[in-house]
Amino acid sequence: KQYLSIILFFSTTYNASLCSVGIQFLMKFNRYLLEVLDHERASLEASEKGEEVPEAPTTPDFTPVLFTGLFQSAREVTVMTVRRVYERLAVTRLPRVHAEAILLESRSYIRDILSLRHAKDPLLKRLATYQSATLHSVALFYAAECTVASSLYAIQTARRSDLTAGQKIALVSKGAALHLLRCSVTLAMVSVGAALGSAIKPGVGTFVGHVGTDVITSITMSIFIRSVLGN
């Protein structure tokens, strides 16, 4: 009940928070269920043979999983909050035309407007149009992601006692540059993937191309950054 109340409370702040906590919890719980099933099978075999029934698996400690999920949820909320701040700055500081391009929801915009407006255009021109629309609409998200990732890495580095002040500054700068590279590459690949998907099926194809390239590129770039930074 205590775990459930914490999860439900946090989910009221941001819907994706429940997903992050739930996924972490279910992965651990599923492993425990597999152990229980194996124990039941072993117990039945032991009973049939008249042997001693093996001990049941102990209930796992879900506290580390819960806090990992809560951390990921808090990170997601922070990214969304920073994005909203950037959106507000875009509205107040940029010309209206540029601000509208950034604030558009690219999937529906491509499906309902651009795909019809440019239906007779050559393929390359349509791809460029879809790519530009996606790039502008998700740019602030990746800017917020870069900001949060760099800040968290800076905090983590600042708390290390095995580094001098100069080493910390150098490592923070290196981390910020790598996170900027990661988000820039992901942004570029996502816009291309969404454009290719839109050319096949505006709307659904846009979503599949966006999510697919985001997952693949994010994983690849994260592995690269960890290998460079060593953590």
pLDDT tens column, 195-205: 999 999 998 99
∠ CA 99-104-110, rounded to 5°: 135
Task: Name, of 7-16, 17-26, 64-73, 157-166, the range with top average pLDDT.
Answer: 157-166
Q: How far apart are CA 42 and CA 203, in angstroms?
A: 50
Q: Are 179 and 153 in contact (CB under 8 A)?
A: yes
Among candidates 179, 185, 181, 187, which has minimal Cα distance to 153? 179
pTM, full prediction: 0.73
Residue 101, pLDDT > 80, answer yes
Rounded average pLDDT over 85-96? 89
pLDDT at residue number 4? 43
Query: Minimum mean pLDDT among 55-69, 97-111, 178-192: which range?
Result: 55-69
Residue 231 Cα to chain centre, angstroms = 19
Residue 99, pLDDT > 80, answer yes
At 14, which helix (H) or strand (E)? none
pLDDT tens column, 141-180: 999 999 999 999 999 899 988 888 999 999 999 999 999 9
Residue 3, pLDDT > 50, answer no
Q: Are 209 and 127 in contact (CB under 8 A)?
A: no
Q: Are 129 and 206 in contact (CB under 8 A)?
A: no
Residue 138 Cα to chain centre, angstroms = 13
Name the residue with tokens 């001693």.
52
SS3 content of the chain, % helix, strand, coil (to 5): 85, 0, 15
Non-local CB neighbours of 182 within 8 Å, separated by 6+ positions? 146, 149, 218, 221, 222, 224, 225
